[in-house]
A and B are shown apart, each in its own frame.
Chain A
Amino acid sequence: MKKITAFILMMIMTVLLTACQDSGAGSDSGGSAQTDMEYIKDKGTLVVGVTEYAPMDYKDENGEWIGFDADMAKAFAKTLDVEVEFIEIDWDNKIMELEGKTIDCVWNGMTLTPEVTSAMDCSDAYCGNAQVVIVPSEDADKYPDADSLSGLTFAAEAGSAGEGVLQELELEYTSVKTQADALMEIAAGTSGAAVIDSSMADAMVGEGTSYADLTVACTLNSEEYGVGFRKGSDLVKALNDFFTESLADGTMKKCAETYEMQDMLLEK
């Protein structure tokens, strides 16, 4: 028994010692003054954090990432001469993923809310979107505009633009994990209505979905989409230049038309 104890003690000490050495080495290399652009060119990949979210980023039948954002990200990576890699993340953890360098940007129809712009360095807005109110179809006539909404209990994704609108209008709401959960709340009768992105509403409610008897009642305010990078990243400028160029030569519009999003594009 004594021998075993001594052996274990030795093992633990070894593990602890190596762990200490590792963390020491880590903090050394962490202080290097490499810019984000150099970092990405060094490793040769631009890692894009996404969630499956048609029509922005989603997989086709072969498991390839397509969508307006995915196609633009591929084109942007090509101009930088690096590979593009799409990684699915948990949307709640996007800032941690970015700061922890497990991804290099968040490019997923991200609404530029104050929370987002304070935590990341964001590109210029490239796309516009609206927040819509979803209710059961038979009630749709009762809620033609924002003023008619009091008395409803809402569901909205925590931290989403929809939640922001509800706070502004001082309406009663429950925050849920995803926009999809918000819809499930109505279907299950636990909430009376939900506020989600209009682009998402097009894909998720109505005929051919599990929510055939839900519909858009009215539109609330509009919002803008941008791409998020780490704070201080020089990739922001590179992407803004890329957006300006591809808007000027029409490639961005062509890409948007593929996904029937041309109306949402912001022309400047």
Chain B
Amino acid sequence: MEQILDQMPIVITSLNIGFIQTLKLFFVTLIGAFPLGLIIAFGSMSRFKPLSYFTKLIVWIIRGTPLMIQLLIIYYFPGLVLHKPVWGGGEAGRFLAAAVSFVLNYSCYFSEIYRGGIQGVPVGQEEAGLVLGMTKNQIFFKVTLLQMIKRIVPPMSNEIITLVKDTSLARIIALQEIIWAGQAFMKGSHGISGAIWPLFFTAIYYLIFNGILTILLGHLEKKLDYFR
């Protein structure tokens, strides 16, 4: 126990650096996947059949394969097959490749949630808008979209919390997020070697962060309660 207390400051510093990478990946994924998911949702709902089939094919491929494989393909494929290592070997390149994979993956999941939300708004709402003389665009942005947001908060919250934990998959392409930082102490890092506890300690970071998110998302859900 005393030994753990001695190691604590060094471990915490290193885990903090890893957790910043985790957070960066988390926020970049959300910022990218929210709008891209909406675009994909429009694509799969399009009445223009080729576009809707094409989008559904992409969603099937992305949702049908493990994110870990997608990370490996997106990071290594350009260098291995096209002989053009577009991402570079450094930490920045690894982060960019991870961010692209995560945005792609999560926007496909988000798109299905959006689609469910949009199609769940009763037709009567649209008809009411038409009667009031609103244009199609006005109806979409001022009636449908707003009500969709209320409907999608619970399933979105689920995905967002899953995303926090999924960021750990990026260690497969050696992105040094918090799990990587924790594992480093098993082999030896910053003068500490053969220490197992830091790896398990990373769980506390996830737990606290997800706790905060749960509270925030709960608040958001309450605020949107006036749509009934």
Contacts and interface: CB of A to CB of B under 8 A. Distances in A.
A29 B188 contact: no
Given A184-B186, A203-B188, A12 B43 contact: yes
Contacts of B190: 59, 61
Contact of B173 (A8, A51, A90): A90
A226 to B, nearest CB: 20
A49 B84 CA distance: 18
B187 A47 contact: no
Nearest to B195: A210
A5 B42 contact: yes
A5 B187 contact: no
Interface residues of A, number: 50
A99 interface: yes
B193 A9 contact: no
B46 interface: yes
A209 B194 contact: yes
Interface string B177-190: 00000011011111
A99 B80 contact: yes
B87 interface: yes
A61 B194 contact: no
A180 interface: yes
B133 interface: no
Interface in A56-97: 58-59, 61, 85, 87-90, 93, 96-97
A243 interface: no
A140 interface: no
A151 interface: no
B79 A5 contact: no
Given A26-B84, A99-B80, A100-B76, A8 B186 contact: no
B194 A100 contact: no
Contacts of A101: 79, 83, 85, 89
Contact of B48 (A9, A103, A178): A9
A162 to B, nearest CB: 15
Interface residues of B, number: 45
A245 B85 CA distance: 33
B116 interface: no
Contacts of B47: 1, 5
Contacts of B176: 88
Given A12-B51, A204-B188, A180 B183 contact: yes
Nearest to B93: A102
B42 A4 contact: yes
Contacts of A53: 187-188
A23 B39 CA distance: 25
Interface of B: 3, 39, 42-43, 46-48, 51, 54, 72, 75-76, 78-80, 82-85, 87-91, 93, 136, 140, 171-174, 176, 183-184, 186-191, 193-197
The 5 closest A-B pairs by CB, nearest first: A100-B79, A30-B83, A209-B194, A180-B186, A102-B89
23 contacts: A5-B47, A5-B51, A26-B82, A29-B83, A29-B84, A52-B188, A52-B189, A58-B189, A88-B174, A88-B176, A93-B172, A93-B174, A96-B76, A97-B76, A100-B76, A102-B79, A102-B85, A178-B183, A179-B187, A183-B186, A200-B187, A209-B195, A211-B194
Interface of A: 1, 4-5, 8-9, 11-12, 23, 26-27, 29-31, 47, 49, 51-54, 58-59, 61, 85, 87-90, 93, 96-97, 99-103, 178-181, 183-184, 187, 200, 203-205, 208-211
